[in-house]
């Protein structure tokens, strides 16, 4: 009997191969991870590390700014804070994304970019995803409980934001605000893990992170605005429409101003001028990177929006690195 020609795997739709359409091609999950683990790692977005970076970078800001405010500078414990935040960011981003996919499984099935995700494509069930979410959260809790009492309390409080975020796009045009509240909580937590307290400097740093999130996630949301309109999902991309660029300029300016305020309030009055200039150079650096993104933005080009969104790893690393160097002066 004549056999039909085999369809090359690359020609099959993502749901047929188990891959996710918006994951980078050739990522480590698709190529290296054991087959049985791949659906769960995809739930955690392990194949798309940019989200982990965006959750982790405010933690780096927080501990580095706290070290600038501390006459002793960095402390040995800060190495564990940085490592613990890195592992915790991976786990809690994974748990949050799993929760998001559980709650959004019907929406994801209706959107071209997301229907290949593990739950709508049938790679895992919602119950299996829930178990995976709990496992990730429990491991992250073990790390959190190694920090001081203030940081532990802040970490527990953040769960309310994580739980609420997936529902925000159902009742507000500003779901990116809720993402910003959740994703930048690490700035407060890492500051508290270093210092054991809070103050206005980490609060303004947290606010700067929120406006930065409004900037990059509005760009990201422009990929889905047509599908979102069809299924009734709200976003700042849909709200701003053709006026997106002026709004993004405002978020850029707010990020720079709020982060500048955080630096000025954090540094002691007798801090060396070079320390202040180094810290502020990081603020100016993220501002210039955001301006670079804005100059290249085409909200009608989904590929360009995704490219610019991913570039925010580099944008967020700029103040982290400059703040760290400033604390060592």
Measured CA to CA, the distance from residue 9 to residue 5 in angstroms comes to: 12
Residue 99 within a domain: yes
Q: What is the pLDDT of residue 18?
A: 65
Orientation of helix 50-69 relative to helix 77-103, angle to 10° = 150
Q: Which has the closest alpha carbon to 195: 205, 182, 180?
A: 205
Low-confidence ranges of the chain (pLDDT < 50): 1-16
Q: What is the pLDDT of residue 157?
A: 95
Which tokens go with 309?
């969104």
Residue 245 within a domain: yes
Which tokens go with 103?
């709650």
Q: Report how far apart the first and last C-alpha atoms of the chain are (Å, whole number).
A: 77
Q: What is the pLDDT of residue 265?
A: 98
Q: What is the pLDDT of residue 111?
A: 75
Residue 14 within a domain: no
Residue 269 within a domain: yes
Measured CA to CA, the distance from residue 120 to residue 38 in angstroms comes to: 15
Measured CA to CA, the distance from residue 172 to residue 26 in angstroms comes to: 36
Confidence (pTM): 0.89
* Residue 132 buriedness (CB in 10 A; 0-12 / 13-18 / 19+): buried
Measured CA to CA, the distance from residue 258 to residue 205 in angstroms comes to: 7
Q: What is the pLDDT of residue 88?
A: 95
Domain count of the chain? Answer: 1
Residue 18 within a domain: no
Residue 193 within a domain: yes
Residue 132 within a domain: yes
For residue 173, give its domain range. 41-327
Residue 229 within a domain: yes
Looking up tokens 């996710």 gives 20
Q: Which has the closest alpha carbon to 187: 77, 56, 50?
A: 56
Question: How would DSSP label each residue in 214-275?
Answer: HHHHHHHHTTSHHHHHHHT---HHHHHGGGHHHHHHHHHHHHHHHHHHHHHHHS-TT--HHH
Q: What is the CATH number of the domain that holds 164?
A: 1.10.357.140
Measured CA to CA, the distance from residue 321 to residue 263 in angstroms comes to: 14
């Amino acid at each position: 009997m004549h056999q039909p020609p085999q369809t090359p795997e690359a020609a099959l739709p993502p749901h047929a191969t188990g891959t996710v359409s918006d994951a980078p091609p050739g990522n480590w999950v698709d190529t290296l991870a054991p087959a049985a683990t791949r659906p769960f790692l995809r739930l955690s977005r392990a194949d798309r590390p940019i989200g982990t970076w965006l959750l982790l970078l405010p933690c780096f800001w927080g501990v580095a700014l706290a070290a600038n405010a501390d006459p002793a500078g960095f402390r040995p414990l800060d190495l564990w804070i940085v490592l613990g935040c890195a592992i915790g960011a991976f786990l809690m981003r994974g748990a949050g994304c799993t929760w998001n996919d559980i709650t959004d499984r019907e929406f994801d099935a209706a959107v071209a970019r997301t229907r290949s995700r593990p739950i709508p494509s049938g790679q895992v069930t919602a119950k299996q995803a829930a178990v995976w979410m709990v496992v990730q959260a429990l491991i992250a809790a073990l790390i959190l409980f190694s920090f001081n009492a203030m940081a532990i309390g802040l970490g527990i409080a953040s769960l309310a934001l994580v739980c609420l975020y997936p529902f925000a796009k159902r009742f507000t045009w500003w779901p990116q605000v809720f993402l910003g509240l959740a994703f930048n909580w690490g700035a407060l937590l890492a500051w508290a893990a270093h210092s054991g307290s809070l103050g206005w400097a980490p609060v303004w740093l947290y606010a700067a992170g929120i406006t930065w999130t409004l900037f990059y996630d509005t760009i990201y949301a422009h990929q889905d605005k047509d599908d979102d309109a069809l299924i009734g999902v709200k976003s700042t991309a849909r709200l701003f429409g053709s006026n997106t660029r002026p709004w993004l300029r405002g978020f850029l300016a707010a990020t720079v101003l709020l982060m500048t305020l955080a630096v000025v309030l954090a540094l002691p009055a007798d801090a060396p001028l070079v320390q202040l200039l180094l810290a502020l150079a990081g603020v100016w650096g993220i501002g210039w990177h955001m301006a670079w993104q804005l100059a290249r933005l085409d909200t009608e080009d989904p590929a360009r929006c995704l490219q610019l969104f991913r570039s925010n790893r580099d944008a967020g690393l700029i103040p982290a690195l400059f703040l760290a160097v400033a604390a060592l002066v």
